[in-house]
Amino acid sequence: MKFIADLHIHSRYSRATSRDLTPETLWKWGQLKGIRVLGTGDCTHPGWLAELEAKMVPTDCGLLALRDELRQAEVPASCRAELSFLLSGEISCIYKKGGRTRKVHCLVYLPDFAAARRLNTSLARIGNLASDGRPILKLDAKELLQMALEASPEAMLIPAHAWTPHFSVFGAVSGFDSLSECFDDLTPEIRAIETGLSSDPSMNWRLSALDGITLVSNSDAHSAAKLGREATVFDTELSYRGIFSGIASGRGVASTIEFFPEQGKYHADGHRGCGVRLSPSETVASGHRCPACGAKVTVGVLHRVEMLSDRGEGARLAGAPPFRSVIPLLDLIGGALKVGTGAKRAQAMYFDLLQQVGNEFQVLLEAPLDAVRDASSAALAQGIGAMRTGEVEIDPGYDGRFGTVSVNQL
């Protein structure tokens, strides 16, 4: 069966996250977004893991469900669906390898609480897991992979936001040029990478080394409202093993739902302090220095892909799952109303749409535009139509500054 999953999120125990990230809130917002399987995030944090064990029950399919008595939040009938959780966490591995400091963020997925406890016992010998929902450990990413597999042969490690400059497996600042440089003899255990907000599948298709690697997308949400800004559409059994085998084989991923990569905050090169954004060729011409102040330029994802690619722009990998690029619904509503996304009018229109039309993915990707217009405005319906056909205006992000993607009709 087809279902949407978002398998990289965070809890309130991670730094710079919303305080209302509880299992109950995630259960509600997952349905509002149209997600059927949601990563728990932060399963290495002892406080969060204890809360998950108290508030969730294992299901027959190897996933988790919120206890019935905690399902008290009101969800519109148009959005209601059974939501499952999958144990997940993110670890920041910082270590020396090949004469350089490496900083690699890794996603870990586990089939049950017992496996999570075994992994946490091993990790607690290395660092303080209670310090952050995404712990920073002096640990080689390969060793983390080995520990995860020792905790459970059904564990899976996926390099997170694989291209971001500072904390990723291919990052320009502290990453590697290949998966094998990072994971050595355990590289065959890496079945997938997360493309991240600043790249999309078409950019990754430019590397033949990734032809056998499954590309997945997730939100990396730090608040409930950000759930599903990227997601993966699976076509497999709705179970842990179904998802595991679907990723491992690549045949279980039907498509992905993407940010426009230019909206990501590390897409282009640049120096935020001077407001300077550069193309890859401009960065090379300037000697990787800011033309305004001489500071070192942050090399973005687009440039890094070009550095490692062996195919030209526009290359298409035969048989690769398709993807669709979206703009978050509240951003489109804000544009239609000429107000901020937190304005009462924007919030009211958002929830009216969900109640009358369906969950956010239904509104963005599937609903007839007439139905959207009747439940909101002609301007918003036109904007969604333009987004679906890629008629967008783009101002790329760089050096930690998000880009903007808008539609002409708004």
Q: Which residue has the tokens 């050595």?
A: 184
Q: Which residue type sits at 315?
A: A
| Rounded CA separation 292/278 (Å) | 12
pLDDT greater than 90 at residue 346? yes
Residue 317 · residue 205 · CB < 8 Å: yes
- pLDDT of 293 reads 98
Check if the beta carbon of residue 115 is closer than 8 Å to that of residue 68.
no
81-110 pLDDT, tens digit each:
999 999 999 999 999 999 999 999 999 999
| Tally of CA atoms within 13 A in the half-sphere of 120 that contains its CB | 25
Is the domain of 157 the same as that of 256?
Answer: yes
pLDDT tens readout for residues 151-207: 999 999 999 999 999 999 999 999 999 999 999 999 999 999 999 999 999 999 999
Instruction: State CA 320 to chain mean position distance.
Output: 19
Q: Which of 2, 3, 6, 72 is nearest to 225 (CA)?
A: 6
Same domain, 322 and 367: no
The tens digit of pLDDT for each residue in 112-160 reads 999 999 999 999 999 999 999 999 999 999 999 999 999 999 999 999 9
Q: State the CATH number of the domain containing residue 4.
A: 3.20.20.140
Render pLDDT for 68-82 as a digit per residue (tens, 0 to 9): 999 988 999 999 999
pLDDT at 73: 81
Is the pLDDT assigned to residue 410 strictly greater than 70?
Answer: no
Average pLDDT, the chain: 98
Q: Are residues 105 and 205 in the same domain?
A: yes
Alpha helices in 87-206 (DSSP H): 113-124, 141-151, 179-183, 201-204
Q: Does 104 share its domain with 195?
A: yes
Q: Phi/psi of residue 278, each to 5°?
A: -130, 150
The residue among 310, 326, 342 that closes a domain is 326
**pLDDT of 297 over the 90 cut:** yes
**339 has a pLDDT exceeding 70:** yes
Reported residue count of the chain is 410
DSSP 366: I
Residues β-bridged to residue 215 = 193
pLDDT of residue 11: 98
> Do both 321 and 238 map to the same domain?
yes
For residues 229 and 334, state if they share a domain: no
Residues 259 and 273 in one domain: yes
Stretch 339-359: mean pLDDT, rounded?
Answer: 98
Contact 167, 106 (CB under 8 A): no
Residue 298 and residue 360 in one domain:
no
**DSSP secondary structure string for all residues of 230-241:** SEEEEES-SSHH
Report, as an integer, the average pLDDT of 325-353: 97
Whether 176 and 279 share a structural domain = yes
Q: Look up the domain containing 206 and give its range.
A: 1-326
Q: Is 146:183 a contact under the CB 8 Å cutoff? A: no
Residue 232 exposure: Cα atoms within 13 Å on the Cβ side: 30
Mean pLDDT, range 21-47, rounded to an integer: 99
Phi, psi of 381, deg, nearest 5? -60, -40
Q: How many domains does the chain have?
A: 2
Of 269, 292, 326, which marks where a domain is finished? 326
In the chain, pLDDT over 90 holds for what percent of residues?
A: 99
409 — phi, psi (to 5°)?
-70, -15
Query: Minimal CA–CA distance to 269: which of 255, 257, 281?
Result: 281
Both 237 and 358 in one domain: the answer is no
Does residue 408 carry a pLDDT above 80?
Answer: no
Shared domain check, 306 and 357 = no
Domain end call among 326, 357, 388: 326
- Give the dihedral of Cα atoms 210, 214, 219, 224; nearest 10 deg: -160
What tokens does 303 get?
């440039």
How many CB atoms within 10 Å of residue 16? 7
Residues 305 and 350 in one domain: no
Half-sphere exposure at residue 69, Cβ-oriented, CA atoms within 13 angstroms? 3
Task: Please give the DSSP secondary-structure letter assigned to residue 364.
Answer: I
Strand partners, 56: 66
The three-state secondary structure class of 182 is: helix
Q: At 214, is the pLDDT very low, low, confident or very high (cuts 50, 70, 90)?
A: very high
- Cα–Cα–Cα angle for 395, 396, 402, nearest 5°? 100
